[in-house]
Amino acid sequence: MLLIECPWCGQRDQTEFHPHGEAHIARPEDPDALDEAAWGDYVFFRKNPKGLHYERWVHSHGCRRWFNVMRDTVTDHIHASYKPGDPKPELPITADGGDTTGTPKT
Amino acid sequence: MNRYSIFSLLRNAVNYHQDWQRAWRSPDPKREYDVVIVGGGGHGLATAYYLAKECGVTNVAVIEKGWIGGGNTGRNTTIVRSNYLYDESAGIYEHALKLWEGLSQELNYNVMFSPRGLLHLAHSVHDMQEIGRRGSAIRLNGIDSEFLSPAQVKEMVPFINLDCRYPVMGALLQRRGGTARHDAVAWGYARAADDLGVDIIQNCEVTGFRIEDNVVTGVDTSRGMIGAKKVGCVVAGHCSVLASMAGFRLPVESVPLQALVSEPIKPVLDCVVMSGSVHAYISQSDKGELVIGAGSDLYNSYSQRGSFDVIEETVGPVVELYPIFSRMKMLRQWGGIVDVTVDRSPILGTTPVKNLFFNCGWGTGGFKATPGSGHVFAHSIARGEMHPVAEPFSINRFNTGALIDEGAAAAVAH
Ligand SMILES: Cc1cc2nc3c(=O)[nH]c(=O)nc-3n(C[C@H](O)[C@H](O)[C@H](O)COP(=O)(O)OP(=O)(O)OC[C@H]3O[C@@H](n4cnc5c(N)ncnc54)[C@H](O)[C@@H]3O)c2cc1C
Ligand SMILES: [Zn+2]
């Protein structure tokens, strides 16, 4: 079970949240202009990486707001959570090499 | 290969079981194969077996990063059935079920296929409509399916609590469904494939593909480069990782799926009972353990463990439906990484890279398909075009929109 940081409410139990898959997928400007391949690609195809994953969560049993999380899918360690529209964070997050969950980097 | 029989058992008993032959060799990889199968789970091993047995392609290697059957094949709750809604699904799962019925004889290996009957419980009006629709569709496809009243359910499972928080309003029964021994399926296919000349190479991880002019020519592995005229990738939860090595993406997300087993008890449950809407799947193994399948986590992960809350959600209904299990101790719990597609149907197909084939997306329910999937995938690889039973499961369906939506249809995971 994960401890997830909502950018508005702070750290809460994972059961308060709902994940919604890969983040930073921009909706095509002009969907009508896309062919089958491009539309299918946008709707269904995902990176599904083994490692760092940028993903969307919604605080469904809390403030009900959406935000993004940067998590390692091998360890399930959460490196950062950030508001929609914020730039994609990179590793390392803080000056001392730790991350926003307060876990020092080892 | 020494055939297993009552006589070989007697002969070896006389020698205190010292002289049993190894079930398969452990060869060094050759420089090149006609076909390399990546992934030594049930599906990969079955593919290799049918390539050698039926397609005349014996220069084949199965390359497995760990030990064979150590992936989802050895982690699943072993439910076998073919009662799916759509014709395409009926095609592939029933093809598999027919092969299950003769598999122990075919492989000369006891896979302990046990068609003990499988119940899908309905707990609501919606569930009743769902089993009504699906049950009729299954029968139209010539597959066995019966509707049971709550009283008939009680006859099969006398200790079930019909009138509880999850009232049992009826059930769908597939008598030919049941369970099989998961490890034995991997071992049986491995032994039979090895006997036909297939090299099974364990502890060898594929780390990349050799691709020239968009044609695959081999794989890079932790034991060096291995050439291949054709490559079949059957790596379940890791399919996106392998696809990204080959330069494309898949319509798949990998999530943990959990199961747990109890301490062993005397025989009490002689069928499989599934309950899709409350996520409680239960059967009793021949060792006496209750085997309980849980739901999957909703977030992508390769961690091979799942969340506590998922177990709680599963055990709650189990205790409610079967109060006599409430004080049993659970011995083990584990997770596997399952490759889930949006329509909950698998992907078998060619890829953007020539001579590279993928078989994946079986998600939470591919064990039952092992023989059928291996069989049609082998024929597809050998011919270079998809077998008619596999054809509808192409990657392309996510572009054309011809989804085979078993997820929405059955709301049942396994
Ligand atoms: C808890 C649980 C319960 C389930 N219950 C059921 C059920 O009741 N009924 C049912 O039908 N299905 C069930 N399933 C699903 C079923 O287990 C799978 O769909 C099926 O076993 C997949 O078989 P496979 O051979 O494709 O994959 P796997 O058995 O996972 O084999 C893939 C292999 O590929 C290897 N591999 C990965 N990457 C590489 C690499 N880079 N190089 C070399 N090798 C690699 C892995 O080590 C692995 O051994 C369940 C799954 C789980 C996890
Ligand atoms: Zn919040």
Which among B184, B151, B169, B217 is positioned nearest to B74, based on CA atoms? B184
Name the residue with tokens 């990889």.
Answer: B29
What are B27-60's pLDDT values in tens digits?
999 999 999 999 999 999 999 999 999 999 999 9
Model pLDDT, residue A95:
55
Query: Quick one: pLDDT band at residue B408, thresholds 50, 70, 90?
Result: low
CA nearest B238: which of B72, B77, B95, B107? B72
Residue type, B276: G
- Model pLDDT for residues B123-143, shown as the tens digit of each residue: 999 999 999 999 999 999 999
Mutate to test the interface with A, among B235, B300, B305, B400 (most CBs of A within 10 A): B300
Token digits for B180? 């099989």
pLDDT at residue B409 is higher than 80: no
The pLDDT, as a whole number, for residue A1 is: 78
B388 has pLDDT over 50: yes
Distance CA A7, CA A24 (A): 17
Q: Report whether B280 contacts B317 (CB < 8 A).
A: yes
Chain A's closest residue to B311, CA to CA, is A1
Chain A touched by B345 (CB under 8 Å): no
Say whether residue B244 is in contact with chain A using an 8 A CB cutoff: yes
SS3 B72: helix
Summarised one tens digit per residue, pLDDT across range B73-83 is 999 999 999 99
Q: Report the range of poorest mean pLDDT among A97-101, B294-298, B300-304, B357-361.
A: A97-101
Smallest CA–CA distance, residue B249 to chain A, in Å, is 6
Across B91-99, average pLDDT: 98
Burial letters B355-364, b for 16+ CB under 10 A, else e:
bbbbbbbbbb
Average pLDDT over residues B114-118: 98
N-term to C-term CA, chain B: 35
- Give the number of C-alpha atoms closer than 13 A to the C-alpha of residue B264, restricted to the C-beta side: 4
Domains of chain A in sequence order? 3-82 (3.30.2270.10)
Assess contact for B237 and B42: CB atoms under 8 A. no
Share of chain B above pLDDT 90, in %: 95
Closest CA to B381 of B96, B64, B38, B41: B38
Query: Which residue of A14, A37, A39 is in closest CB contact with B307?
Result: A14
Cβ-count burial B136-145 (b if 16+ within 10 Å, e if not): ebbeebebeb
CA distance A68 to A54: 7
* Spatial CB neighbours of A34, under 8 Å, sequence gap ≥ 6: A28, A42
Give yes or no for a contact between B389 and B377, defined as CB atoms under 8 angstroms apart.
Answer: no
Distance CA B285, CA B269 (A): 9
**Cis bond upstream, residue B29 (ω within 30):** no
ipTM: 0.92
Cβ atoms of B322 and B282 within 8 Å: the answer is yes
Q: For B193-202, what is the mean pLDDT?
A: 98
Query: Mean pLDDT over all residues of chain B?
Result: 96
Do A21 and B342 count as a contact with CB atoms less than 8 A apart? no
B369 and B360 Cβ atoms separated by less than 8 Å: no
Chain B contact present for A50, CB below 8 A: yes
Hey, what are A25's tokens? Answer: 């997928």
- The single residue listed with the structure tokens 């049950």 is B135
Write the DSSP symbol of residue B396: T
